[in-house]
């Protein structure tokens, strides 16, 4: 009995093992089996245990998972395939799924991925036949087979960014490999690899969110037009054979090898070939033995130098616009912003750079004096295809001077002894090129920007420039002192007469930019009379709000430039110094989703602000007009507004709380990009002026509840207002509809939560087909809005978190009831 009991226990344990675990012994999975995304989730293993299929938690998001295949015996569990919807170009394919999602093997549908609420997120799309079982093979291929062991679907025919030994890509199948967006972001990236119909293997950058490709930056040369018909033929398939070698097999069975490297044995090494997120296609190897060096080693890559290869007539190149690409030792690119520029998105090191200063013809005319810019010099650096002027023969000094005097010129390139290229923004395909011996790039940077001036020839901090100015003063003084008394008297009289006429003319002439006085950095102080003339006596009113009335005007700058002049209410804070301080803070903001402030007037009791004029009006007129804007436009506008508020809250040198976020304060530029207006004005007015009054039947409107509860006012009041406005953008209706037939629909915030709770978002968007075709994003945006309108400010997310949720960077959790104690707030 003592010896029988252990054997009996073993037998019972085997019987109690889950079916999925037993199936792992031979790699097969029967219909009806499923996996759930949890911390302790199981996976379906290959017989050797080398590969696993299941949910991998994202390293940077503990509650998000990726349905994928990975190397299971190595510590970093390198992913080689992941579920991706190639038809969804807006989302970009692979979307991480939340905790609790499930994948199940179905006889008719194949692999079916569903969310925690049972909504279908992805399926394997078997073409014909009934699935009997699935299997994780030792090659890393997951297959679905019928009862006769015929393959109905396999992951090898739907590759993502990686190929494995024994994998073949047929030209006729139209298979495309897409890179990821980054090392940790599995959404569709900017690069693709494809065996074209003509037999050429190419690498392209693409213009997201579409698949529209730019010119190839690599070609194998195996196209039908590039081969000798007598001795060769075009490529028919891309083969990664069992020995680890990768080659193109031609139609006549000749081979065109992509790699000539001597490889180790596949019995001792793992191999993979990956189109990396930076556009480099690389083959890697890694020892299988546990005591060997545990990291992937690059064997070869194409192209040889991606920084020099990705030169196209369109697209930014390997790195983003205005960036500089440098090749590292591992043949991978490194992207850097030039001096005076910074990343547009700090989280994307390979993204575009933006200037840390304002540059342009209009901006230059708004500035007085010379020496607006200085040059930063870079050696062996170029941005091809951004030229708009080629000057030859030209000296280096002539090249620099021409760029300095040209308001469109951002960079001047001088090389080959007498050649000068002038380039304008945005700069594309930037790279360091060692073949440019003696070549120089002169980057134009505005003086007074956040970057300290270098010793450029036009910088006032340049010792040589300062010495030259001093020498000129000494020379003038010597002439005056050394001349005769009569000559000096004549000179003094001439100077006095000249000053009189200039001053007299300045008082009489109409307003132009030349008689705008500089008071603060990048700000202009206008006289009240100048703005009266600019607005034709404040004739055309554009709108009015809590802060004042806006009038249309024009400033002469060679041509008439339209402006919007806001005349503030008279109840301003009676402190001139504080007014100028706050206006200067507003003037130093610079973001594509903010309306730019040109200048101000601070004269007597008059306080006016001069903004750029945006011709497409307010978001209110855009949303609530007769024609409903497209869903795609509304999504873009919502994200743009969120980014603008995030900039005001977190990225300004001084935090700005808007206090009056609503559609009437969102303007649209020529391309219908959202631009936030009236930011920072709350601090310029008395506190009772900065409260937005929307006392319609005692409902909340856009105003956060803490305004009326004697609670501290923080940036969370803007989050609340944004949430209300986000619902308006989703539904294309006002937050309060006094004409609503059904009373429960009158208050949008209440009705939206009811629709979400009851699962009837169709009614919320009035059964809009375009919106309902993107139901996942609709539900996510409604959830974000509900989080924003929580009555408890501590429950509301920050605008950074809001932006991340809207952009799909972080998961949106199920929101609680926004107003658990009441659905309305009585306003005084």
Residues found in the chain: 828
pLDDT tens-digit readout, 716-758: 999 999 999 999 999 999 988 766 657 778 889 999 999 999 9
The string of DSSP codes covering 743-794 is GGGSBHHHHHHHHHHHT-HHHHTTT-HHHHTTHHHHHHHHHHHHHHT-SSGG
Mean pLDDT of all residues in 672-689 = 69
Which of 8-12, 53-57, 577-581, 588-592 is the least confident region?
Answer: 8-12
At 570 the pLDDT is: 58
pLDDT tens-digit readout, 488-532: 555 566 555 554 444 444 333 333 333 333 334 456 788 899 999
Half-sphere exposure in the Cβ direction for 684 (13 Å, CA) = 29
Asked if 704 and 591 count as a contact pair (C-beta separation under 8 A), the reply is no
Q: Is 288 helix (H, G, I), strand (E, B) or coil?
A: coil
Q: At what angle do helices 775-788 and 716-731 cross, to 10 degrees?
A: 150
Cα separation of 248 and 235, whole Å?
6
Q: Is the pTM of this model over 0.75?
A: no
Cα separation of 718 and 703, whole Å?
9
Which of 276-285, 483-492, 501-510, 533-542 is the least confident region?
Answer: 501-510
Confidence grade of residue 11 (pLDDT, cut at 50, 70, 90):
very low
Q: Is the pLDDT of residue 81 over 70?
A: yes
Higher pLDDT, 368 or 383: 383
Half-sphere exposure in the Cβ direction for 657 (13 Å, CA) = 17
pLDDT tens-digit readout, 773-786: 999 999 999 999 99
Q: Is the pLDDT of residue 463 over 80?
A: no
**Spatial CB neighbours of 434, under 8 Å, sequence gap ≥ 6:** 380
Which of 93-97, 416-420, 705-709 is the least confident region?
Answer: 93-97
Q: Is the pLDDT of residue 32 over 50?
A: yes
Pick from 390-394, 780-784, 824-828 the range whose average pLDDT is largest. 780-784
Asked if 802 and 663 count as a contact pair (C-beta separation under 8 A), the reply is no
3-state SS of 392-456 is CCCCHHHHHHHHHCCCCCCEEEEECCCEEEEECCCCCCCEECCCCCCCEEEEEEECCCCCCCCCC
Residue 495 is encoded by which pair of tokens?
């100077």
Q: Kindly report the average pLDDT of the chain as a whole number.
A: 79
Paired residues of 667 in beta bridges: 618, 675
- Tally of CB atoms within 10 A around 233: 16
Asked if 616 and 630 count as a contact pair (C-beta separation under 8 A), the reply is no
Cα separation of 492 and 490, whole Å?
6
pLDDT tens-digit readout, 405-434: 899 999 999 987 889 999 998 998 888 887
At 215 the pLDDT is: 86
Q: Is 712 helix (H, G, I), strand (E, B) or coil?
A: coil
**Spatial CB neighbours of 706, under 8 Å, sequence gap ≥ 6:** 712, 713, 716, 717, 793
Higher pLDDT, 326 or 16: 326
- Tally of CB atoms within 10 A around 627: 7
Asked if 708 and 825 count as a contact pair (C-beta separation under 8 A), the reply is yes
Paired residues of 334 in beta bridges: 326
Look-up of token digits 């409604």: 782
Paired residues of 240 in beta bridges: 167, 246
Sign of CA dihedral 470, 475, 478, 480: negative
Q: Is the pLDDT of residue 44 over 70?
A: yes
Task: Look up residue 365 and give its DSSP letter.
Answer: H
Q: By percentage, how much of the chain surpasses pLDDT 90?
A: 35
Degrees to nearest 5, angle at CA 766 with 618 and 670: 25
Element (H, E) at 7: helix 4-16
pLDDT tens-digit readout, 290-326: 554 568 989 999 998 888 886 666 778 888 899 999 9
Mean pLDDT of all residues in 200-220 = 87
660 is catalytic: yes
**Spatial CB neighbours of 767, under 8 Å, sequence gap ≥ 6:** none
Sign of CA dihedral 758, 760, 765, 770: positive
Task: Look up residue 652 and give its DSSP letter.
Answer: S
Cα separation of 481 and 291, whole Å?
88
Annotated binding site: 567
In the chain, what's the furthest Cα-to-Cα distance?
Answer: 134
Pick from 225-234, 490-499, 701-710, 762-771 the range whose average pLDDT is largest. 762-771
Closest CA to 776 of 267, 315, 115, 297: 115
Degrees to nearest 5, angle at CA 105 with 103 and 107: 145
Category of 187 on φ-ψ map: left (φ > 0), alpha (ψ -120 to 50) or beta:
beta
Category of 256 on φ-ψ map: left (φ > 0), alpha (ψ -120 to 50) or beta:
beta
Asked if 373 and 406 count as a contact pair (C-beta separation under 8 A), the reply is no
Which residues of 4-141 form beta strands (DSSP E)?
28-30, 34-36, 44-45, 51-58, 61-71, 79-82, 97-98, 102-106, 110-114, 120-123, 133-136
Q: Is 246 helix (H, G, I), strand (E, B) or coil?
A: strand
Paired residues of 60 in beta bridges: none
At 504 the pLDDT is: 45
Q: Is the pLDDT of residue 700 over 70?
A: no
Confidence grade of residue 703 (pLDDT, cut at 50, 70, 90):
confident
Which residues of 213-292 form beta strands (DSSP E)?
218-219, 235-240, 246-250, 255-257, 269-275, 281-287
Cα separation of 111 and 123, whole Å?
5
Pick from 271-280, 536-545, 563-572, 708-717 the range whose average pLDDT is largest. 271-280
Asked if 47 and 54 count as a contact pair (C-beta separation under 8 A), the reply is no
At 3 the pLDDT is: 41
Q: Is the pLDDT of residue 620 over 80?
A: yes
Residue 773 is encoded by which pair of tokens?
């075709």
Residue 124 is encoded by which pair of tokens?
């394997």
Task: Look up residue 683 and give its DSSP letter.
Answer: G
The string of DSSP codes covering 490-543 is HHHHHHHHHHHHHHHHHHHSPPBGGGPEE-STT-EE--HHHHHHHTTTTTSEEE
Cα separation of 552 and 614, whole Å?
10
Look-up of token digits 């950058």: 205
Catalytic option among 660, 678, 718, 750: 660
Which of 20-29, 49-58, 504-513, 793-802 is the least confident region?
Answer: 504-513
pLDDT tens-digit readout, 150-166: 999 999 999 999 999 99
Pick from 260-269, 378-387, 477-486, 792-801 the range whose average pLDDT is largest. 792-801
Q: Is 150 helix (H, G, I), strand (E, B) or coil?
A: coil
**Spatial CB neighbours of 221, under 8 Å, sequence gap ≥ 6:** 200
Sign of CA dihedral 715, 716, 717, 722: positive
């Amino acid at each position: 009995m003592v010896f029988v009991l252990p054997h009996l226990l073993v037998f019972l344990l085997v019987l109690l093992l889950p079916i999925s675990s037993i199936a792992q012994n031979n790699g097969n999975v029967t219909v009806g089996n499923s996996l759930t995304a949890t911390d302790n989730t199981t996976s379906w293993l290959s017989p050797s245990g080398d590969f696993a299929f299941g949910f991998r938690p994202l390293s940077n998001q503990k509650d998000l998972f990726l349905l994928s295949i990975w190397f299971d015996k190595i510590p970093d569990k390198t992913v080689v395939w992941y579920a991706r919807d190639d038809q969804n170009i807006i989302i970009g394919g692979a979307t991480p799924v939340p905790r609790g999602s499930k994948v199940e093997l179905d006889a008719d549908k194949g692999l079916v991925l569903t969310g925690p609420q049972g909504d279908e997120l992805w399926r394997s799309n078997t073409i014909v036949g009934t699935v009997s079982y699935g299997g994780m093979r030792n090659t890393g291929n997951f297959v679905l087979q019928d009862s006769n062991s015929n393959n109905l679907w396999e992951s090898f025919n739907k590759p993502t960014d990686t190929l494995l030994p024994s994998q073949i890509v047929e030209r006729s199948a139209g298979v495309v490999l897409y890179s990821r967006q980054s090392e940790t972001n599995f959404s569709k990236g900017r690069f693709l690899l494809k065996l074209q119909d003509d037999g050429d293997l190419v690498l392209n950058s693409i213009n997201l969110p579409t698949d529209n490709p730019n010119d190839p930056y690599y070609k194998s040369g195996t196209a039908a037009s590039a081969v000798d018909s007598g001795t060769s033929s075009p490529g028919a398939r891309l083969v990664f054979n069992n020995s680890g070698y990768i080659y193109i097999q031609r139609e006549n069975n000749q081979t065109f090898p992509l790699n000539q490297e001597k490889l180790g044995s596949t019995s001792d090494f793992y191999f993979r070939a990956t189109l990396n997120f930076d556009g480099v296609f690389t083959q890697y190897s890694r020892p299988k033995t546990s005591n060997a060096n545990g990291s992937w080693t690059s064997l070869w890559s194409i192209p040889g130098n991606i920084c020099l290869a990705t030169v196209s007539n369109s697209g930014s190149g390997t790195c983003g616009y205005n960036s500089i690409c440098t090749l590292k030792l591992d043949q991978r690119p490194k992207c850097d912003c030039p001096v005076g520029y910074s990343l547009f998105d700090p989280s994307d090191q390979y993204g575009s750079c933006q200037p840390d200063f304002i540059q342009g013809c209009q901006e230059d005319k708004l500035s007085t004096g010379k020496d607006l810019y200085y040059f930063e010099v870079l050696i062996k650096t170029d941005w091809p295809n951004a030229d708009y002027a080629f000057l030859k023969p030209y000296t280096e000094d002539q090249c620099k001077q021409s760029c300095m005097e040209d308001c469109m010129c951002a960079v001047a390139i001088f090389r080959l002894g007498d050649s000068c290229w002038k380039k304008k923004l945005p700069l594309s395909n930037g790279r360091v090129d060692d073949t440019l011996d003696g070549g120089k790039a002169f980057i134009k940077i505005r003086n007074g920007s956040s970057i300290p001036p270098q010793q450029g020839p036009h910088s006032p901090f340049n010792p040589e420039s300062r010495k030259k100015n001093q020498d000129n003063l000494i020379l003038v003084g010597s002439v005056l002192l050394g001349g005769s008394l009569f000559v000096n008297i004549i000179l003094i009289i001439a100077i006095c007469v000249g000053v009189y006429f200039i001053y007299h003319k300045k008082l009489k002439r109409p307003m132009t930019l030349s008689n705008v006085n500089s008071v603060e950095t990048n700000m202009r102080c206008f006289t009240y009379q100048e703005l009266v003339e600019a607005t034709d006596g404040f004739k055309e009113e554009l709108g009015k709000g809590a802060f004042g009335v806006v009038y249309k005007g024009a400033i002469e700058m060679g041509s008439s430039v339209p402006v919007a002049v806001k005349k503030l209410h008279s109840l301003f804070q009676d402190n001139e110094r504080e007014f100028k301080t706050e206006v200067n803070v507003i003037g130093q903001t610079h973001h594509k989703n903010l309306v730019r402030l040109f200048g101000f007037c601070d004269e007597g009791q008059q306080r006016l602000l001069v903004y750029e004029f945006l011709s497409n009006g307010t978001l209110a007129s855009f949303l609530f007009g007769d024609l409903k804007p497209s869903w795609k436009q509304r999504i873009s506008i919502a994200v743009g507004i969120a980014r603008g508020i995030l900039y005001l809250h977190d990225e300004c040198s001084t935090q700005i709380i808007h206090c009056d976020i609503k559609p009437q304060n969102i303007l649209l530029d020529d391309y219908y990009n959202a631009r936030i207006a009236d930011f920072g004005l709350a601090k310029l007015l008395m506190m009772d002026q900065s409260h937005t009054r929307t006392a319609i039947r005692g409902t909340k409107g856009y105003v956060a509840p803490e305004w009326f509860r004697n609670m501290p006012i923080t940036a969370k009041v803007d989050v609340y207002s944004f949430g209300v406005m986000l619902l308006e953008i989703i539904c294309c209706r006002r937050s309060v509809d006094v004409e609503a037939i059904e009373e429960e629909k009158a208050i949008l915030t209440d009705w939206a939560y009811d629709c979400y709770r009851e699962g009837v978002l169709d009614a919320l968007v009035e059964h809009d087909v375009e919106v309902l075709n993107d139901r996942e994003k609709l539900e996510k945006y409604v959830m974000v809005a509900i989080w924003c309108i929580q009555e408890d400010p501590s429950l509301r997310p920050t605008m950074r978190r809001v932006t991340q949720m809207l952009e799909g960077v972080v998961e949106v959790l199920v929101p609680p009831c926004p107003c658990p104690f009441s659905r309305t707030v009585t306003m005084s």
